[in-house]
Amino acid sequence: MVDIKLSDKFSDIYIPGETKRFKIFIGGKWVETKDKFDLISPIDSRKMAEISSASKEDIDAAVKYAVESKHKIRDMPAIDRIELINKFRLELEKYKDEIVDVLMKEAGKARRSAEGEFNATIERMRLGMEDSRKITGEYIPGDWSSDTSQKVALVLREPLGVVLGISPFNYPFYTSMAKVIPALLSGNSVIIKPPSVDPIAFLMAAKVFQDVGAPDGIFQAVTGKGDVAGDYLTSNPNINMISFTGSTDVGKHIAGIAGLRKTHLELGGKGTAIVLEDADLDLAARECVKGSLELAGQRCDAVSRILAVDKIYDKFVEKLKQHLQDYKFGNPIESPDVTMGPVISKSAAKRIDDLVKDAVSKGAKLLAGGKYNDCYYEPTLLVDTPLNAKIVDEETFGPVITLIKVKDKADAINLANQSRYGLDSSVFTNKFYDAWEVMKALQVGNVTLNAAPSHGTAYFPFGGVKDSGSGKEGVGYSIDEMTYTKTIVFNLAPGNLGKRYTGQFKD
């Protein structure tokens, strides 16, 4: 059985016993809840821990503390906020090995993926200084317009108040922290609901943040399932903004609940890689395999389908088969050189298998994989995938390389834009004008040339269109999402300081 072993540093965040029961963090205290649910590890499909399920009373308390404490972070000078985050970062690095170990066990990540998630989080925190520098204003002289000629204005960025962050299972540590950091740096208090299936690594981070002297109440972490931790929390009128990363269906549901409150929605994707005839096929195959299989394909920016033109199609198939061997599949706890572990649950594996079986039944050729055991779905290669297969349109979120033959560049663009999603895509070509034409034509938020899409530390902004959501994440851009503009107008006429409009040159 997978066991979570934690140092004394984290003794406050759980109730000891044969199975650790993890608490929630409200108002600067670790709180035991009445209800709980089991956390099942994808490594062996067995119970690994018990997770607290917040009640409506717990949610009310968390929101109350966040509202009452928001002045603590809003009134804190920006340089102090930066120093707080930097102190947090330096302390968090001391516990890298423990957090990586937990990520591997609760999320089924290969060590490389778990370490990558931790390192990206630390880098995102380091970039906090750059985030904070985006909180600037604007001076607008009024004499460019006749009706404001004796006025000037300042446009400021103000914190929204209380930000609620809801994070997905695939990057439970990084995505949660990527919501905390800009929220606090821009002067908001924040409540995070980490994913139910793998929240422990983030709860560990909450403990570290508490211990570096973060003011009580500016940060809460609550776990739970169902209507209480979902609808009840998002519908609270004292929540000023909801930042959600997850499925499109849930995102649409949250948007319906949110009403006029601000939302940032980073939703599903159907990342398309277009391979043209003059592409470096070895590079394209290596990147497409990486984009399809990294984290077992459980990424919104994954390469979910590949459109290769018929002139190079057969050669490209051989390249894909070759680079498929780059990934070692198995139990990442038992073998440290495993680069692709299980998917998050048995039900996820079953859903992926249904998509693969549907494609094969409709004429796709299965060249590798296509089998699973418990949460372990083999790296899979589908070629000659017909357009009526469900996997062509539905988000795969699994380790399946799906190859589709197209006639030419125009055919590829047309097929790519038929998707209801619009998050990430990529194009492989060495011709500048072809690359420019494709990248301009694709209806997506992000396009990458000659590499698989990757959001990484979000130094480059990302965000989707269509059913992939709204808003942008990234250094500086997240700050914009978590603030609002306030225009302050000064009438200079009483002090005889304004510029009078004479109209003498008016036509």
Domain residue spans in the chain?
A: 8-135+152-267+472-485, 271-449
Mean pLDDT over 277-283 rounds to 98
Q: What pLDDT, on a 0 to 100 scale, did the predictor assign at position 134?
A: 75
CA distance 421 to 444: 8
Coil, strand or helix: which one is 263?
strand
Considering the segment(s) 271-449 as one domain, its CATH architecture is 3-Layer(aba) Sandwich (3.40)
pLDDT tens digits for 19-42? Answer: 999 999 999 999 999 999 999 999
pLDDT tens digits for 103-120? Answer: 999 999 999 999 999 999
Mean pLDDT over 231-245 rounds to 95
Same fold, 8-135+152-267+472-485 and 271-449: no
CA distance 107 to 456: 18
Give pTM, 2 decimals.
0.95
pLDDT tops 90 at residue 178:
yes
Coil, strand or helix: which one is 101?
helix
pLDDT tops 90 at residue 409:
yes
Q: Do 279 and 312 meet the contact criterion of CB atoms below 8 Å apart? A: yes
Catalytic residue among 287, 300, 394, 473: 300
Coil, strand or helix: which one is 261?
coil
Residue 503, sorted as left (phi over 0), alpha (psi -120 to 50) or beta, turns out to be left
Instruction: Note if 266 is an active site residue.
Output: yes
CA distance 46 to 63: 34
Q: Do 291 and 452 meet the contact criterion of CB atoms below 8 Å apart? A: yes
The position carrying tokens 């990294």 is: 294
pLDDT band at 506 (very low <50, low <70, confident <90, very high): confident
Q: What pLDDT, on a 0 to 100 scale, did the predictor assign at position 125?
A: 94
The CATH class for the domain spanning 8-135+152-267+472-485 reads alpha beta
pLDDT tops 80 at residue 133:
no
Catalytic residue among 266, 294, 473, 481: 266
Mean pLDDT over 142-148 rounds to 93
Lowest mean pLDDT among 283-287, 461-465, 474-478: 474-478
Phi, psi for residue 290 in degrees, rounded to 5: -60, -45
Instruction: Note if 375 is an active site residue.
Output: no
170's CB contacts (< 8 A; 6+ apart) are: 107, 295, 298, 299, 300, 344
